[in-house]
């Protein structure tokens, strides 16, 4: 197996120069750098990352802890994280916390023991143990998709956070349905305690108020962010004495559950019930009718999380930031409208701690 000394001899440089090129620890003349890289390629040299980490205290690895990795939304986020990390020379260790606070704390501990340089985490509904661990061990971390309010309530996060807008896109779905004449609009919300759930409920209520539609608490149900939960609570909505005529589902898994509940009752979309959903997914336009949806910038969220984490590693004391990316309204036909080709961005906001 070739060594760093072999690379140095082949390139006609010192071992120290090879180290500076491979570790990017000091500027090296372009032709010298290229000679080293050519020698690495020719010899098939593979750096010993373990040995390097003992010297630099860095492993060039990132821990990613997100639940429901099989969900197309998180799969696309993962692809964005992986591509951005690889571009910067970082490997990825992935763990699934299963949206369980105890398991979340355990997988984060295991990632930390493997000496990842930093972590990207989609926090659970109760992240108190997670926050305590990250703070106690001073782990560089970015929260992804779900934000965590500051413990002191001053609105200043302790960790960098990146997510998509939640309230305004949901409000847009509601006002769109109200504009089509619907007065009983239901919401299948996600798991209680998640910031995404809170924001989409806020948007739902805001949309009803903007459209002058009375809010009926019986039309707001929680499907726990899962297909089975979405199916169960949609069935309950359909069993009301006066059921909704339109429905907003707050993530793609619950959309599948809602469609199953409608199918089991022989009801059609949008003939018997208009449907709009938060989360677009690859096969949304294969349904009949095609699903009107809010599309989140999944890959961009993943890439931005990596960018923020690397900025944190480079400047550990800089102020924490919460960055929100805009979503797009994808107008298809499940809402009862003729299909429209355009996607309409809805909002963007960035908050920086003073």
pLDDT tens per residue across span 71-125: 788 889 999 999 999 999 899 999 999 989 999 999 999 999 888 999 999 999 9
For residue 217, the SS3 value is helix
What integer is the mean pLDDT of 137-161? Answer: 79
With pLDDT > 70 as the criterion, what percentage of the chain qualifies? 89
What integer is the mean pLDDT of 280-289? Answer: 77
Nearest to 94 by CA among 129, 119, 125: 119
Task: Find out whether the peptide bond into 270 is cis, omega within 30 degrees of 0.
Answer: yes
Nearest to 69 by CA among 308, 253, 326: 253
Residue 250 confidence (pLDDT) above 90: yes
Nearest to 117 by CA among 47, 23, 22, 53: 53
- CATH code, residues 167-296+328-347: 3.40.50.2300
β-pairing, 220-222 vs 61-65, is unpaired
Mean pLDDT, all residues of the chain: 88
pLDDT of residue 349: 45
Structure-block tokens of residue 304: 């931005």
Domains 4-47 and 167-296+328-347 belong to one CATH topology = no
| Residue bearing the bigger pLDDT, 51 or 351 | 51
| CB distance 129 to 102 below 8 Å | yes
Cα(227)–Cα(253) distance, integer angstroms: 5
| Residue bearing the bigger pLDDT, 203 or 5 | 203
CATH 3.30.830.10, domain 61-164+298-325, yes or no: no
Domain ranges in the chain? 4-47, 61-164+298-325, 167-296+328-347
The fold for domain 4-47 equals 434 Repressor (Amino-terminal Domain) (1.10.260)
The full DSSP string for 183-198 is S-EEEEE--TT-HHHH
Cα(230)–Cα(236) distance, integer angstroms: 10
| CB distance 172 to 330 below 8 Å | no
Strands (DSSP E) found in the chain: 61-65, 91-95, 118-121, 141-144, 160-164, 185-189, 220-222, 246-249, 274-278, 292-295, 321-325, 328-330, 343-345, 349-352
Burial class for 218, CB neighbours closer than 10 Å (0-12, 13-18, 19+): middle
pLDDT of residue 351: 44
Residue 263 confidence (pLDDT) above 60: yes
With pLDDT > 90 as the criterion, what percentage of the chain qualifies? 70
Token pair 């072999």 is found at: 6
Cα torsion 112, 113, 114, 120 to 10°: value is: -10
pTM of the predicted structure, to 2 decimals: 0.81
């Amino acid at each position: 197996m070739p060594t760093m000394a072999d690379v140095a001899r082949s390139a006609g440089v010192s071992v120290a120069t090879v180290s500076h090129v491979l570790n990017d620890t000091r500027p090296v003349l372009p032709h010298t750098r290229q000679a080293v890289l050519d020698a690495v390629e020719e010899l098939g040299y593979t750096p010993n990352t373990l040995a390097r980490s003992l010297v630099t205290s860095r492993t060039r690895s990132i821990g990613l802890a997100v639940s429901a990795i099989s969900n197309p939304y998180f799969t696309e986020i993962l692809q964005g994280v992986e591509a951005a990390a690889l571009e910067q020379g970082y490997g990825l260790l992935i763990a699934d916390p299963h949206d369980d606070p105890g398991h979340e704390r355990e997988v984060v501990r295991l990632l930390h023991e493997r000496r990842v340089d930093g972590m990207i985490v989609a926090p659970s509904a109760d992240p108190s143990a997670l926050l305590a661990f990250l703070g106690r061990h001073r782990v560089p971390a970015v929260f992804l998709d779900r934000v965590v309010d500051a413990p002191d309530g001053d609105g200043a996060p302790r960790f960098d956070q990146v997510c998509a807008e939640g309230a305004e896109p949901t409000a847009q779905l509601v006002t769109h349905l109200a504009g089509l004449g619907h007065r009983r609009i239901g919401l299948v919300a996600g798991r209680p305690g998640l910031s995404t759930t809170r924001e989409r409920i806020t948007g739902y209520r805001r949309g009803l108020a903007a459209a002058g539609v009375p809010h009926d608490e019986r039309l707001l149900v929680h499907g726990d962010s899962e297909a089975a939960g979405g199916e169960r609570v949609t069935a309950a909505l359909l069993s009301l004495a006066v059921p909704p005529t339109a429905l907003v589902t707050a993530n793609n898994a619950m959309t599948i559950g809602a469609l199953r509940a409608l199918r089991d009752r022989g009801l059609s979309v949008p003939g018997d019930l208009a449907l709009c959903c938060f989360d677009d997914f690859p096969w949304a336009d294969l349904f009949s009718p095609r699903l009107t949806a809010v599309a989140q910038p999944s890959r961009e969220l993943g890439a931005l999380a990596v960018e923020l984490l690397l900025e944190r590693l480079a400047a550990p004391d800089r102020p924490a930031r919460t960055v929100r990316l805009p979503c797009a309204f994808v107008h298809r036909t499940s809402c009862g409208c003729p299909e429209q080709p355009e996607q309409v961005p809805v909002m963007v906001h960035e908050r920086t701690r003073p």
